[in-house]
Amino acid sequence: MALLNMAQAINQALRYEMSRDERVVVLGEDVGRRGGVFLITEGLLEEFGPERVIDTPLAEAAIIGVAAGMAMNGLRPVAEIQFADFIFGGFDQIVSNVAKMRYRTGGQFSVPMVIRAPCGGGVKGGQFHSQSPEAYFVHTPGLKVVIPSTPSDAKGLLISSIRDEDPVIFFEPKRIYRTFKEDVPDGDYTVPLGVARTARPGSDVSVITYGATVHDALAAAEKAAGEGVDVEVVDLRTLLPYDREAISKTVQNTGRVVIVHEAPKICGFGAEIAAYIAERELLSLEAPIIRVTGYDTPFPYAYENLYLPNERRILDAIRKAASF
């Protein structure tokens, strides 16, 4: 094992898959000599050459369209979108072509490609470099959507995504790229898509979350423990498909649920989780479901720390659920 942060773990995953499978190629804005704006692809150009590490024009529709063509013709492209906010330039390619190709061709073509994009706030990026657009893609049949919260999961989930036969949107919470390190397994390490993990076991309140807010939830859970409330934290890891069994299990276990994500509340992914719980586990609930999310406004610059669902806001929700 090696002690890595998330940025290093993603780089290791890309390097491993490119070494293992010559069909894997990387493309995007500044991914070559620069190594990407966050240096995630640093060193890959020198190791694998310009035919497999391709600097592209500033054109997201072209990046995704070219990657789709590569995937349909036998390659395994990993396309980088410099910030998740810029993915909307290629939105039509993703939802109209990439997501529907297997269905519209009756299985004659698959599109085994990954679209990587740094998402979320926490780096003073303002409105155009801080968004969390995952719900748009979860709403699109034909895609898979992944958001890791730890270095080891980032490596394992990315390798699984590259090997998957369907297109995967792989969002990377950029505020935790370099905030902490952990032991990451060497070599051929995978984490299955669609399987959640229990980041912290507990018996009184469940916090269901993903991405960077997993760490905020864990911090709030530690504070709650000091007040006598035992909090279980479930990290979904994959949003499409999501782990329904894990959600049912934690709701049955605690009967009290707090759902946390950075994206705005209205039609955010938490609404889907809340609806699933209401449909399948209503009789297990001992309190109303509470959502702690970003606000229904453009992402702010000066008030970023107020917008994000931080430890304090999550702890308040835990207290409310526990005392109902």
Residue 50: inside a domain, yes or no?
Answer: yes
Extract the tokens encoding 50.
């310009």
Distance CA 17, CA 219 (A): 34
Classify residue 233 by burial, with Cβ atoms within 10 Å: 0-12, 13-18, 19+: buried
| Residues 141 and 216 grouped into a single domain | no
What is the distance between the alpha carbons of residues 134 and 111, in angstroms, rounded to a whole number? 20
Q: Is 129 a catalytic residue?
A: yes
Domain membership of residue 304 as a residue range: 197-323
Summarize pLDDT for 70-80 with one digit per residue, the tens.
999 999 999 99
Nearest to 317 by CA among 292, 296, 293, 294: 292
Strand ranges, E, within 147-204: 168-173, 182-184, 197-200
pLDDT per residue of the chain (324 residues) written in tens, 0 to 9: 899 999 999 999 999 999 999 999 999 999 999 999 999 999 999 999 999 999 999 999 999 999 999 999 999 999 999 999 999 999 999 999 999 999 999 999 999 999 999 999 988 888 899 999 999 999 999 999 999 999 999 999 999 999 999 999 999 999 999 999 999 999 999 999 999 999 999 999 999 999 999 999 999 999 999 999 999 999 999 999 999 999 999 999 999 999 999 999 999 999 999 999 999 999 999 999 999 999 999 999 988 989 999 999 999 999 999 999
Pairing mode of beta strands 205-209, 76-80: unpaired
Q: Are residues 18 and 47 in the same domain?
A: yes
- End-to-end CA separation in angstroms for the chain: 45
Q: Are residue 20 and residue 103 in the same domain, yes or no? A: yes
| Distance in angstroms (rounded) separating the CA atoms of residues 306 and 278 | 29
**Confidence (pTM):** 0.96
Same domain, 231 and 178: no
What CATH number has the domain bearing residue 240?
A: 3.40.50.920
Count of domains in the chain? 2
d(CA 98, CA 110): 9
- Domain-embedded: residue 191: no
Q: How far apart are CA 319 and CA 233, in angstroms?
A: 15
Q: Give the C-alpha separation, 93 to 91, whole Å.
A: 5
Establish if 189 belongs to a structural domain: no
Same domain, 58 and 165: yes
Give the type of residue at 121. Answer: G
> Phi, psi at residue 264, to the nearest 5°?
-55, 160
List 259's β-bridge partners, or say none. Answer: 208, 291
What are phi and psi for residue 60, nearest 5 degrees?
-65, -40
Q: What are the DSSP E strand ranges found in 249-301?
A: 257-264, 290-294
